[in-house]
Amino acid sequence: MDASPWYGYIPTKWVGIVGVVCFSVVAIGEAIQASVLKDYLPIIPFIGTIIEIAGWGARVKSSADPLSFNAFVCQVAALIIAPCFYTAQIYVVLQYLVRLYGPDYSILRPKLYAIVFISCDIVALVIQAVGGGIAGSSSTNQHTMDTGGNVMLAGIIIQLIGLSLFCYAGIDFVVRYCKNRPYRTSYAYGVVLNPDLQPPYSSKRFLSIGLLVAATISIFIRSIYRVVELAYGWSGPVITREVYFDVFDLIPMVVTSALLLGVMWPVTEVKQLPVDVQHITVEDDNFTKVNTLTTDMSPAVSYDVTENSLMGDSSYDHDKKNSILSSVKV
């Protein structure tokens, strides 16, 4: 057989195996990370990685049985849905970066990053799942498959729009931070402009930021490919060329999943703060970012938190902190 009636080609077995192996390694890393950090966030991409493994496993099955419609539908659904879990992690990590560098510069409040963009992904996920169900309901009715494909295309477009808006919000935040042009002036005068209140340099944080940007670009490229692929239909010139799929889906998604293993440091930074300080710097929108990660600060608008106090040392000066916070509260 020269080609599967579903793919337009016979999936290459070794490529499918490479996909399964790569994502399996990443899944092990995500499981270890979740266990070591004792944090729920790595579990989200872990779910996406498991779905990727299922999708590429289905393609291995298709290489041995090109006529299996069930294997074809399984890989279509799995490999379209899985990236939603990676974008969810990306959205949450930026939320923590906004908390560290100051919500003044962000068009959205920190909590809204997860709420708004994950909601977009959920809507896109549901639409794609419905489309996959429609397409998979018949292996003989081309009209039904085309209808399902169009529904899936709508879901992918919604996901791409949400990711594009997220990229705009992230770029806008960086530009405004670098140019010191905050959106809001609801905080104490001088706090935003005071360089002592900026987070101290952290090589781990900057590495996390770089990996986050690279992962976002990678998944953005994949999303554009998917839109083009389904726009031409099930028998179009894009979806029937395996090399396009391997280059613009497999490689970007393996890269994205691997890069996201290194973006957790900003989350860890925030969660290492004392609980009462987390409440002020993370939860309470009436306060701007108060740098608690360095002791070389202006005593007029900040307070010291040493490494010992970050670990829960009883010498932490709550009275000093409260007096300072009262001076910066609106």
Predicted pLDDT of residue 273: 60
Is residue 3 in some structural domain? Answer: no
pTM, to two decimals: 0.79
Predicted pLDDT of residue 277: 45
Do 158 and 201 share a domain, yes or no? Answer: yes
Predicted pLDDT of residue 138: 67
Is residue 99 in some structural domain? Answer: yes
Is residue 6 in some structural domain? Answer: no
Is residue 250 in some structural domain? Answer: yes
Do 62 and 129 share a domain, yes or no? Answer: yes
Identify the segments of the chain with pLDDT beneath 70. 1, 138-140, 185-198, 273-330
Do 104 and 224 share a domain, yes or no? Answer: yes
Q: Residue 126 phi/psi, 5° resolution? A: -65, -45
For the chain, the domain total comes to 2
Predicted pLDDT of residue 1: 66
Predicted pLDDT of residue 198: 64
Predicted pLDDT of residue 304: 34
10: helix, strand or coil: coil
Do 70 and 192 share a domain, yes or no? Answer: yes
Do 77 and 204 share a domain, yes or no? Answer: yes
The C-alpha atoms of residue 59 and residue 20 are separated, in whole angstroms, by 10
Which one, of 119, 120, 121, 146, lies nearest residue 135 by Cα? 146
Do 202 and 319 share a domain, yes or no? Answer: no
Do 132 and 170 share a domain, yes or no? Answer: yes
Is residue 19 in some structural domain? Answer: yes
CATH of the domain at 192: 1.20.1070
Is residue 5 in some structural domain? Answer: no
The C-alpha atoms of residue 244 and residue 106 are separated, in whole angstroms, by 37
Q: Quick one: tokens of 113?
A: 């990053």
Predicted pLDDT of residue 134: 85
Query: Which residue segment(s) compose the domain that 41 sits in?
Result: 13-276
Which residues, 6 or more positions from 171, have their beta carbon under 8 angstroms from its beta carbon? none
Do 228 and 304 share a domain, yes or no? Answer: no
The C-alpha atoms of residue 46 and residue 131 are separated, in whole angstroms, by 24
DSSP 199: P
